[in-house]
Amino acid sequence: MKENINIYGIRSIIEAVNNKINIDKVWLLKSQKSNLFNHLFSLIKSKKIPYTFIPKEGFEKFSKKNSQGAVARISPVAVVDFENQLNLILENNTNPLIILLDGITDARNFGAIIRTAAATSSDTVVISTSGSAPINNDVVKTSAGGVFKTTISKVNNLKDAVYLLKANKIDIIALTEKAEKLIYDYKLNKPLAILLGSENNGISQGLLKIIDKRAKLPMNKNNDSLNVSVTCGVALYEIIRQRR
């Protein structure tokens, strides 16, 4: 797998965006000001491309290149808009299985989840445009090729995905150790999405407030929780077991 490719310069990035090159992230020089720069900023915002403003010192790692205050990283894997992807899923599958990830920033966890999603024929893995691990070489490697077999979708905010799923009558179960019911207590042979949160912070309270169903895995009283990728795997295979 080749290393991620960086694009340097405002015009080069604009051209890449206009040609629908899949851009993982853009770094912008905080003090940069020009009409062309403003055009680039408006363009990446309209295309929902993740970006970060950094001070001049932060651009030292790009000093060997003429960056013009803008550097973009091309993702090795295409990421699609979730709303469009959901429409495609519903056209072709009456019993979809969708995975929502809230704040998974560890590349190896992300890759392991994608690997299991591919193995269980999950329809898509959904992440937010910010606060998620980049799809880099570590993710590709850990997924064991799963990134090329599973669609990865993005939304500005996972709440948008939840509302879309609810509007299409797809149940959502939040996997959290604070739940009262076990995953085995639910009937899972129906259109379904599961939501997992980061190991450090779990699922955000804002998301939990708009999700009606919660589930946990049975746990030895001496253990607090499992790794998020392991939790995902156990839950997905219980869903597959019930659907068989």
Same domain, 63 and 171: no
Same domain, 46 and 92: no
Output the domain CATH number for residue 14.
3.30.1330.30
Q: What is the pLDDT of residue 18?
A: 87
Give this prediction's pTM: 0.79
Q: Give the end of a domain, one of 23, 45, 74.
A: 74
8 Å CB contact between 135 and 108: no
8 Å CB contact between 193 and 122: no
8 Å CB contact between 98 and 196: no
**Structural domain containing residue 212:** 80-243
Residues 6+ apart with CB under 8 A from 173: 183, 186, 192, 193, 194, 195, 211, 213, 214, 215
Vertex 41 angle, CA 65 and 28, to 5°: 35
As to burial, measured by CB atoms within 10 angstroms (0-12 exposed, 13-18 middle, 19+ buried), residue 108 is middle
Q: What is the pLDDT of residue 2?
A: 45
Q: Which helix (H) or strand (E) holds 147?
A: none
Output the domain CATH number for residue 228.
3.40.1280.10
Q: What is the pLDDT of residue 200?
A: 84
Same domain, 102 and 54: no
Q: What is the pLDDT of residue 84?
A: 95
Same domain, 133 and 58: no
Same domain, 117 and 186: yes
Q: What is the pLDDT of residue 60?
A: 75
Q: What is the pLDDT of residue 116?
A: 97
Q: What tens-digit pLDDT sequence spans the chain (244 residues)?
A: 445 578 888 988 998 888 878 888 899 988 888 899 999 999 999 988 889 998 888 777 765 567 788 988 887 788 889 999 999 999 999 999 999 999 999 999 999 999 999 999 999 999 998 888 888 778 888 998 898 889 999 999 999 999 999 999 999 999 998 899 999 999 999 999 999 998 888 999 999 999 999 999 988 776 667 899 999 999 999 999 999 9
Q: How many domains does the chain have?
A: 2
Same domain, 103 and 68: no
Residue 145: count other Cβ atoms within 10 Å of its Cβ: 13
Same domain, 69 and 100: no
